[in-house]
Amino acid sequence: MKASGLHVLAVDDVPAALEDLCQLLRDAPEIARVTAAGDPLSALRMIRGERFDAVFLDIAMPGLDGLELAALLGKLAEPPVIVFVTAYDEHAVAAFGVGAVDYLLKPVRAERLADALARVGRITPAAEPGSDRPDALAALPVESGGRTRYVRRDDVRFVEAHGDYVRLHTPSGVHPVRMPISRLEEYWADAGFARAHRGYLVALDAVRELRSDSVGGLLAHTDLGDVPVSRRHARELRERLLRAAQRGELSRPEQRT
């Protein structure tokens, strides 16, 4: 065991997968000690008996799944940092919603594990006393071609529903993420996003003006294009824009002159 570093718990009900994860963790220079648990209930007992800096957690497990276990851990006075390790990409939003700081897809690559450990290290009490846990949904993971990139919420001008996905419209491009727009609305409503239409969310501080289209409909104009505003959502959007303007929250840094 290394003299100093993180004490982490790895949880997976598949023995081979658990051993692979433990070996990856043991090889990481940031890790001092790795403890393994073959099921969520055993993990819960271990966490109640000793302190872990982080828990690397599978999702699809019998009895108590990883999301349920993470929700329980979030209620502890000093909860460990949660990193999910799973073969399924569709649980990413729920995972970040229960406070995870990263979401790794199996098979885990060493460089992705290093990214996750860097995130863990920045927010563990040993690394930075008194630091706050980050806003877990301030960025969303986008998987493409076996690589993961993170799209910051602050870069998103508007969100467009597209079947089982949403499209995040940002200056760097349009990024598809598999999740329902209604779920994303729940998470981002308090972060300055409003429903403009059944199929659209818009960042309030990205709206430069409201304008009429050629047939009398309403559009929210952003620097990346116009977002349709339905009659159902027009009044609430106007009211939220007015409140944001009164608080001086409508001008993004790149829009200021």
pLDDT tens, residue by residue, 148-159: 778 889 999 999
Would 139 be classed as within a structural domain? no
Cα(146)–Cα(171) distance, integer angstroms: 23
State whether 174 and 102 are in the same domain.
no
Cα(221)–Cα(227) distance, integer angstroms: 6
pLDDT, position 160: 97
State whether 24 and 117 are in the same domain.
yes
Most confident of 42-46, 74-78, 146-150: 42-46
Tens of pLDDT, residue by residue over 54-72, are: 999 999 998 889 999 998 8
pLDDT of residue 254 exceeding 70, the answer is no
Would 1 be classed as within a structural domain? no
Burial classification of residue 209, based on how many CB atoms lie within 10 Å of its CB (0-12 exposed, 13-18 middle, 19 or more buried): exposed
Tens of pLDDT, residue by residue over 179-212, are: 788 878 877 888 899 999 999 999 999 999 999 9
Query: Who contacts 240 (Cβ-Cβ below 8 Å, separation ≥6)?
Result: 194, 204
Cα(164)–Cα(115) distance, integer angstroms: 28
State whether 26 and 114 are in the same domain.
yes
Query: Who contacts 48 (Cβ-Cβ below 8 Å, separation ≥6)?
Result: none
State whether 106 and 159 are in the same domain.
no
The domain that holds 210 is classified in CATH as: 2.40.50.1020
Structure tokens at 28: 């990481």
State whether 13 and 124 are in the same domain.
yes
Would 141 be classed as within a structural domain? no
Cα(53)–Cα(122) distance, integer angstroms: 11
Count of CB atoms within 10 A of residue 25's CB? 23
State whether 117 and 69 are in the same domain.
yes
What residues make up the domain containing 109?
Answer: 6-130
Domains: count for the chain: 2
Cα(198)–Cα(182) distance, integer angstroms: 9
Closest listed residue to residue 47, CA positions, set 12, 10, 13 = 10
pLDDT confidence bin for 48, thresholds 50/70/90:
confident
State whether 169 and 114 are in the same domain.
no
Structure tokens at 155: 């870069």
State whether 13 and 126 are in the same domain.
yes
pLDDT of residue 29 exceeding 90, the answer is no
State whether 117 and 159 are in the same domain.
no
State whether 115 and 31 are in the same domain.
yes
**Straight-line distance from the first to the last Cα atom of the chain, in angstroms, rounded to the nearest whole number:** 55
pLDDT confidence bin for 9, thresholds 50/70/90:
very high
The domain that holds 94 is classified in CATH as: 3.40.50.2300
pLDDT, position 36: 97
Tens of pLDDT, residue by residue over 243-253, are: 888 877 776 54
pLDDT confidence bin for 132, thresholds 50/70/90:
very low
What is the separation of C-alpha 193 from the centre of its chain, rounded to a whole number of angstroms?
A: 16
State whether 161 and 115 are in the same domain.
no
State whether 190 and 126 are in the same domain.
no
Question: Which pTM was predicted?
Answer: 0.56
Mean predicted confidence (pLDDT) in 122-144? 60
